[in-house]
A and B are shown apart, each in its own frame.
Chain A
Amino acid sequence: MITLDDVSFTYPGSAEPTLSGLSLDLIKGEVFGLLGPSGSGKSTTQRLAMGLLRGFSGKATVFGDAVGKVSRDFYNRIGVSFELPTLYMRLTALENLNLYASLYSGTTLKPMDLLARVGLEGDANKRVSAFSKGMKMRLNLCRALINDPDLLFLDEPTTGQDPARARKTRDLIRELNSAGKTIFLTTHNMAEADEICHRVGFLVEGRADVIDTPAVLKKRHGENILQVVTRSQKGERQVQRFPMTGLGENDAFLSMVKAGGVETMHSLEASLDDVFIKVAGGTDA
C-alpha cells in the first residue's frame, strides 16, 4: 500500500536530515504504527507519504504510484487525521463535516452517522470553538473518514481523550480496520500501539531499522522467564523465577505449584515501553 525505499528528507534551512535512508512497507489491510521520540520524523514520514513534502530522495510509492506524481484524485482515497485539530472554529461540528464532504467527489459518508460513531451526535450543532481538545480530535477523525477512504493516516489519534474515550477510539480504529481500511498511525502511547497495531516500526535518527509485530518485539527484547510470587502460610512473600523452556518438567516449579500459595504469575517478556527505550533511547527530545 505504501512503500518507502531509502527515503531521505531535510527541511529547508535545517542542517540535519529528518529522514535518512528510511525504508518501510505498509501492507494492505494492516494497522501499522510508527513509533519514536518527539521530533524523530513520524509526522514528516506521514506527510511525505501523503504527497505534502517535496524535495526528498529515494523512492516512495502509495497505491503503486510514485508520491508527488499522483493526481489530486489520490486524496479521494486517503483520509488524514492530523495531530492537531484542523477545523473551522466558528462552524458547528455538522457544518464542518458538510463542508469537507463537499470537497471530495463520489459518495461520502453521512456526517450524523460519523458523529454518532465517536459519541458526538449530541454536539452536532455546537460550534467547534466550544469543544474540548478531545472532542476536537474525535471530530478530526470524523473529518478524516468523511470521504470513506481506503487508507487512513492517524497522527496521535487519542490525544486529549480520557482513558474510557481513548478505548472507544481504539475500538473504532479496529472496526475500521476490520472493514478493510489500511491504517498508518503514529503514537507516543506504547500500550495503544501494542493493542491495535499489527506491526510497529521504531523511527530513530531518520531510519526504521526495527519493524515487527509487537509480540515478536516484546519477546525478542524481554527475558524468556516466568516470575511467580507466592505467599507462605506464615505470610512470607517469595519471588521465584523459572525458565519458560521445559517448564512442564521443572520439578521446582511443579512442586511450588502443588504446594499452593501462588499469588501472581507473569512471563517477563518486555513491554513495548521497554522495547522503545532499548531501541530509541531513554530520553524524549
Chain B
Amino acid sequence: MRALSVFQPGRFWALLRSDAMSVTREPVLLINFFVALLLPIAIWGARSTIDDYATQTFNIANFSQYLLPFALILPALIIGWVTGMLLLEDRDDGPLLALEVTLIGKGGFLLYRTSIIFVLGFLSSLFVLAMLLPDRPGVHLLLAILTAQEAVMTSFILVALAGNKVEGLALSKVVNLLALVPLLAIIASPLRLLGGIIPSFWIGEIIFQGETGTLLPVGVLALIVHAGALLLLYRQATRRIG
C-alpha cells in the first residue's frame, strides 16, 4: 500500500507544512477557525451570566447547557469547511491531478487530509469539552471521536456536492445547520429518535440523555450512524474527485 507512505515523517510534514502555509496565507480560512473557537470560550467565561439572565428573563434554568452541543460542533464544522474548501481548490486548481501521478496518489492524499481533519476536530472537541462539560469526563473521548467525524463529514459533503468554491460557500451555510440538530435530543418524547438519521443528533443524545444509564447503546448507535454516513460521503467524494 504505497498510499500509506503518506505517513512517512518527511512526506507527512511536507504536506502539513504546505497546508499550514496555504491556510495562513488566506486569512478568511484562518479567522473562521479562531472565531469558531471563540464561541465556546465566550460561553465558558460568561456561563453564570448567561444562566442568570435566561432564568430571570425566560424562566429557563441552566440555559448554557443547551448551547453546549452548538459550541462543541461548530468548531468541528468550521475545520471541515476549511479543509473541504482546500480540497475543492486542490480539485479545481489541479494539484489533485498532479498528486495522482506521485507515489501517494489521490488515495494517499485523501488519507492524509482525513487524518488531519480528524485530529484537529478531535483536539478542538477535547478543548471545548474540558471547558464546558468538565463534570462528565467519561464521555469526553466518545464525544470527541464523534465530533471529529462530523468535521470529516463536512469536508466530504463539500467535495461531494459542491461544483466549485462558490457552491462550497453556499453549501457551508446549510451544513452549519447540523450544529442545531443535537437540540432535538432535549425533547422528552421517544419520537425525538427520528432525528437519529442525522449523525449530529447523537451528540445531543449523549449530552442530554446520556446520564440516564443508556450511554452504552446510545454510544454504539452513534458510532454506527457516524461510520455509515462517513462511508457514504467518502464514496460520493471520491467519485466526484475521480
Contact of B99 among A73, A76, A78, A103 (CB under 8 A): A103
Question: Could you tell me the distance in whole angstroms from the C-beta of B18 to the nearest C-beta in chain A?
Answer: 5
Contacts of B93 in A (CB 8 A): 85-89
- Of the candidates B25, B26, B98, B103, which one forms a contact with A82 in the assembled complex, judged by CB atoms under 8 Å apart? B98
Chain A 89-111 interface mask (CB, 8 Å, partner B; 1/0): 11100010011101111000000
Contacts A75-B103, A91-B18, A99-B15; is A86 near B10 (CB within 8 Å)?
no
Give the Cβ gap from B73 to chain A, nearest Cβ, in Å: 28
- Chain B count of residues within 8 A CB distance of the other chain: 25
B216 within 8 A of A: no
Q: What is the interface of chain A mostly: helix, strand, loop, or mixed?
A: loop
Q: Say yes or no: is B105 at the interface (Cβ < 8 Å to chain A).
A: yes
Across the A-B interface, how many residue pairs have beta carbons closer than 8 Å? Answer: 71
Q: Is the CB of B18 within 8 A of A75?
A: no
Query: Which parts of A38-96 form the interface with B (CB within 8 Å)?
Result: 50, 52, 71-73, 75-76, 78, 80, 82, 84-91, 95
| Cα–Cα distance between A143 and B5 once the two chains are bound (Å) | 20
Task: Give A50's nearest chain B residue, CB to CB.
Answer: B101
Query: Shortest Cβ distance from B24 into chain A, in angstroms?
Result: 9
Whether, in the assembled complex, B167 has its beta carbon less than 8 Å from a beta carbon of chain A, the answer is: no
**Interface residue? B28 (CB, 8 A):** no
Residues of A within 8 A of B105 (CB): 72, 75
Given the contacts A88-B18, A88-B22, A100 and B97 also touching, CB distance less than 8 Å: no
Query: B233: CB under 8 A from chain A?
Result: no
Contact of A100 among B10, B22, B94, B102 (CB under 8 A): B102
Q: How far is the CA of A103 from the CA of B26 in the complex (A)?
A: 24
**Contact across chains for B18 and A95 when beta carbons are under 8 A apart:** yes
Q: Which A residues are CB-close (under 8 A) to B174?
A: none
What is the interface of chain B mostly: helix, strand, loop, or mixed? Answer: helix
Report the separation of the CA atoms of residues A73 and B102 in the bound assembly, to the nearest whole angstrom.
Answer: 9
Output the nearest chain B residue to A149 by Cβ-Cβ distance: B101
B85-116 interface bits toward A, Cβ cutoff 8 Å, 1 = contact, 0 = none: 00001000111011111111100000000000
Q: Which residue of B lies closest to A98 (CB)?
A: B14
Distance in Å: Cβ of B186 to nearest Cβ of chain A: 43
B-side contacts of A91, CB under 8 Å = 18, 21-22
- Structural contact, A143 and B98, CB atoms closer than 8 A: yes
Further 19 A-B residue pairs, CB within 8 A, beyond A50-B101, A95-B18: A72-B2, A72-B103, A73-B103, A75-B105, A76-B103, A82-B97, A84-B94, A85-B93, A85-B94, A86-B98, A88-B22, A90-B25, A91-B18, A91-B21, A98-B14, A102-B10, A102-B15, A103-B103, A143-B98
Q: Nearest 4 A-B pairs (CB), nearest first?
A: A86-B94, A72-B2, A102-B14, A86-B98
Give chain A's interface residues, CB within 8 Å of chain B: 50, 52, 71-73, 75-76, 78, 80, 82, 84-91, 95, 98-100, 102-105, 127, 143
Mind listing 8 A-B residue pairs with CB under 8 Å? A50-B101, A72-B2, A80-B98, A82-B98, A86-B94, A86-B95, A88-B18, A99-B15
